[in-house]
Amino acid sequence: MTEKMKWTREPIISNISDELIEIVTEPHTDLWKRTYYHFHNDNAPVLQMETDEKYFSFIVKTNFTDSHHRFDQCGIVMYLDSENWLKASIEYENENFQHLGSVVTNHGYSDWATTSIPANVKTMWYRFSRREDDYRIECSYDGVNFTQMRVCHMWEGNGTIQFGIYACSPEESSFKAVFTDMKITECAWKAHDGQQPDEK
């Protein structure tokens, strides 16, 4: 799978093999657009593959044992361009807690949905699923039992997309992020079986 992946902003230090990917973050790298903070950060290293498949799931395990500074983060990403992307990760906050969350950026405006988890959590699995131009992000502590983090629509996410992994350190920090157990499966996000769609 790694042979299909290409860099958007390659980091100075990285290691890619069939079994794992390592990214050493550089200080002052991040992804964020406008909302609340009013700044534009678009310099995090992103490693992705491309597909036009409309229904699939992508799974990866992240290990961030080395993270130690506020906002250190690594996780999954779908980076279409600087104005349209999503990401999910754990952001280190302090020795007591971290933010498990996701950001969706449509047409240049980001949002951020989070929950607090203990700071001693140092690994997390993510599952990214696509159903046409709608997307679902899940997380798991064991790679078996996944919990939904978010369902979202991407306004520019209906055609060919790029998806994969990222890591960054928004402040004066650097750490090694390790990604393993990557795989693509049939879409684990099944069609909705409740209320019927509205008539078009």
Find the mean pLDDT for residues 154-182: 98
Q: Please tell me whether the overall predicted TM-score, pTM, comes out greater than 0.75 for this model.
A: yes
**CA R_g for the chain:** 16
Question: Mind listing the pLDDT tens digit for each residue in 11-50?
Answer: 999 999 999 999 999 999 999 999 877 778 999 999 999 9
Q: Hey, what domains does the chain have and what are their CATH numbers?
A: 2-185 (2.60.120.200)
Across the chain, mean pLDDT equals 96
